[in-house]
Structure 1
């Protein structure tokens, strides 16, 4: 490559990863997402015991399988970066486990809302961050956030239940608001405790970052997506 040649995505990724603070941030981010996949798998498998029908049980277990299927992709990228996947996930175990303890659903419909709204908000946040990653890592993160169309199942079940019992909508709307509040609080707590993640958003000499105004706009977009997601369920945000 001559001095006048533009850098390829692969070159840009290599240069970014030479920044040790950026590399540490990427490892943290992938570790957080990877443990999130494990905890989502465990939660969904447990939620399947509340399923009212065999069809519902299979659908929720398929969602769990999708979450677990993303794990290998994330672990492979961590190994490419020279990191131990289990060591990378370890710092997030307590925080994520506590989040799920605080937001344990009391019934089948609350479990569906959590799977759709809670996991959806996390995915929105990680997609926002993905814009500031090297191309290879960005592709891995985006691929790990796919839901394989399972959200349609949740929307169908929740809207159908509300049509049969409109009172259910009010309770589930309150549950959705609680999930949003807990998720934002948890995200802020984790970011504050992990300097590497904070530095990722701040950027570096050769990497764009977010100032306070841009961070505010990012959370506004996440909130708007949450509102759209709730509306699709037939609920007020």
Structure 2
């Protein structure tokens, strides 16, 4: 049986939001994702000021606008569930802020690699969790995380910078390697520090959660996707 088939079998497709424990887990998931989108918006807005041309500034500003739209969708869904969006986000502020504090970009290229590589790992982690929630919640998570051209812009800009100055590649490759460690640490903190959210991934037998072997495979997949992103950028992982 393939990993994908195993994940499908372990999913719980009929989870009911009237179940208080499950609803708390969904609120945690959407709260974590909402704060991540909010911080991504503010980070990209700042990064746009560092970009060298008006075209680059505009492109990064549009990426920031996409993050803000995603945040609004998540905030609205939290309100629909009867949750206070600020209270839902609060438990994840420390972990997400710590990631951004430890990975402050020195220039616009590092900021772009961070948005594509670092935030990409976090997004992959939320996609993995989406395999264990009800279909409506999964659809929202996947819609929020849908690529709206961010990848193509990042790849094009970084490859162009490497073409103009090959020395850039070494510096950005080191930066990317640092980001992967920090991003996976952040994902692990988010995934285990809240009991309700952790329960989505590792539940009681028959709950639909993943077993420890599947969790190990999940983090291997996150690392593999990181390597693919680095290769797209023209950087060694």
Indicate whether the TM-score tops 0.5: yes
Structure 2: distance between partners of 1:35 and 1:202: 23
User: CA shift at 1:218, angstroms?
Assistant: 0.8
User: Match for residue 133 of structure 1?
Assistant: 133
More displaced 10-residue stretch of structure 1: 207-216 or 62-71 = 207-216
Rate the CA distance shift 1:204–1:83 in 2: closer, same or farther, 3 A.
farther
User: CA shift at 1:14, angstroms?
Assistant: 7.0
What SS does the aligned partner of 2:120 have?
helix
Rate the CA distance shift 1:13–1:227 in 2: closer, same or farther, 3 A.
closer
- The yes-or-no answer on 1:224 pairing with 2:224 is yes
1:49-68 aligned within 5 A? 49-68=49-68
Which blocks of at least 5 consecutive residues in structure 2 are unaligned?
1-11
User: Match for residue 84 of structure 2?
Assistant: 84
Residues 84-138 of structure 1, C-alpha deviations (whole Å, 9 max, x = no match): 1111011111221121111000011101100110111111111111011101110
Contact persistence 1:158–1:233 (CA under 8 A): yes
Which blocks of at least 5 consecutive residues in structure 1 are unaligned?
1-11
Structure 1: distance between partners of 2:154 and 2:61: 13
Aligned length: 226
Contact persistence 1:48–1:60 (CA under 8 A): yes
Structure showing greater radius of gyration is: 1
User: CA shift at 1:29, angstroms?
Assistant: 0.7
The alignment's TM-score, normalised by the length of structure 1, stands at 0.91
Please tell me the root mean square deviation across aligned C-alpha atoms, in Å: 1.5
User: CA shift at 1:190, angstroms?
Assistant: 2.6
User: Match for residue 37 of structure 1?
Assistant: 37
Structure 1: distance between partners of 2:45 and 2:159: 22
What SS does the aligned partner of 1:119 have?
helix
